[in-house]
A and B are shown apart, each in its own frame.
Chain A
Amino acid sequence: MKTMPSLLTGLVLTAVFSAPAGADEVQVAVAANFTAPMKTIAADFEKATGHKAQLAFGATGKFYAQIKNGAPFEILLAADDETPAKLEREGVAVPGTRFTYAIGQLALWSAKPGFVDDKADVLKQGTFNHLSIANPRLAPYGAAAVETLTQLGLLGALESKFVQGENIAQTYQFVSSGNAELGFVALSQIYADGKLKGGSAWIVPGNLHNPIRQDAAVLVKGKDNPAAAALMEFLKGEKARAVIKSYGYSL
């Protein structure tokens, strides 16, 4: 217990002296699929501006409910373009701040090497028990997966093999644990530094589904926070865009 007072003093001193002049904090709600790139971007942002971005990761629909009920988020990085637009219509997002920060890329992935071929013939052969997709009612990547299967004419044949994750992170977990042989995940989850991290994948061509536009918006709580404005600018900058692309998003 002896160390407690000195530890506390240390914390207080750190808080007082380490923050550069004019440094602010911004609370950001981040779509689950954007977790990995956003951690990198937030670290770069802190280095470049001295502002700090506090990140919360989760499903966009849950963030919507929380924001509508007074959650202290100042920026929303959504997994879709509908939720930010809806929040703007309802007066919770600041008009004129919305923009597309990333366009999601869907991938059919298996944790087993060689299981998914580059023409997705595995889907036609149906040699698997479970196909993991994000709940299409909740997650844009799930809706895109259903559109893709509809385009391929395989929806009816494969629907009975669906297992649904509540968000794209859980969808990935079902596949990575081997419980589902394959699944439609976000390329950002299985891709880093421009290549596949493991297993086998088919990158779904963009013409098989509607584009997964992921929009950001400043929320009313962050209207006058300079750090919120700075982060929105930073997301549009070259450095952040390079990170976003390296995780397999298009822009």
Chain B
Amino acid sequence: MLTATDWSAIRLTFELAGVTTLLLLVLGTPIAWWLARTRSAWKGAVGAVVALPIVLPPTVIGFYLLVAMGPNGSVGKLTESLGLGVLPFTFAGLVVASVFYSLPFVVQPIQNAFEAIGERPLEAAATLRASPMDTFFSVVLPLARPGYLTATVLGFAHTVGEFGVVLMIGGNIPDKTRVVSVQIYDHVEAMDYAQAHWLAAGMVVFSFAVLLLLYTLNPTGRRRA
């Protein structure tokens, strides 16, 4: 069955996915709002950057993050000058990488939800003298709920399923960067197939359950969000 190191990897994976999803909901909301409302010429470029992680192989993201966040990279020099040290091989580094890697899975559903709301509810709120902030929290957010549900589930699940990026910048440190996907990889490489099966089958069950939950709770999500 599962060993202590397996459980530690599972706990770490959920911590990483939880922190990443929370950060993404906070960071993703203004980005999604801007993308949904703007008429700026930059909309296409920003949308493309947000979508990049869908297309890029995780090895590319991982490799560039390793170089950029390292002591010779621009991000690494910045974090070192701020006294934070360099990010690779740390939990914080994995969070930064995961935020970038799962960004489109959170921003796009929220953006779609915002776009689906349209102008009229906002205009109606404005005629009732609601401030923009008030409108956002009392009108926009409740209407965008299906989008937020999709974003939360996909952001979380996508981070749990992350492998290539973590492999490239994690350094496989127990309790800090050794997540479930890396642990499974290790078991397979070490020819310990029985251990690999326990964790791998667990991932299949988990992923199916999460998606089932999403489609059950949010059956119209695809249309509305």
Residue ranges of A at the interface with B (Cβ–Cβ < 8 Å): 59, 61-62, 64-65, 129-130, 132, 135, 137-138, 162-166, 170, 173-174, 177-180
Contact = CB atoms under 8 A, between A and B. Distances in A.
Given A164-B173, A166-B167, A173-B66, A179 B88 contact: yes
Contacts of A180: 89, 171
Contacts of A173: 66
Interface string B183-225: 0011011110000000000000000000000000000000000
10 contacts: A61-B190, A61-B191, A135-B172, A162-B173, A163-B171, A166-B186, A170-B168, A174-B66, A179-B69, A179-B86
Contacts of B168: 170
A174 B168 CA distance: 9
A130 B169 CA distance: 13
Contacts of A61: 188-191
Contacts of A174: 66, 88, 171
Interface in B27-76: 66-67, 69-72
Given A65-B188, A173-B66, A178 B172 contact: no
Contacts of A162: 171, 173
B85 interface: yes
Nearest to A61: B189
Contact of B71 (A65, A138, A179): A179
A137 B89 contact: no
Given A163-B172, A178-B72, A137 B185 contact: no
Contact of B70 (A138, A164, A179): A179
Given A130-B89, A162-B173, A166-B167, A177 B189 contact: no
Interface in B143-180: 167-169, 171-173
Interface string B114-156: 0000000000000000000000000000000000000000000
User: Looking at A132, A137, A166, A177, which has the most chain B CB atoms within 10 Å of its CB?
Assistant: A177
Given A166-B189, A177-B67, 12 more contacts: A62-B188, A62-B189, A64-B191, A130-B89, A137-B189, A162-B171, A166-B185, A177-B70, A177-B72, A178-B71, A179-B69, A179-B89
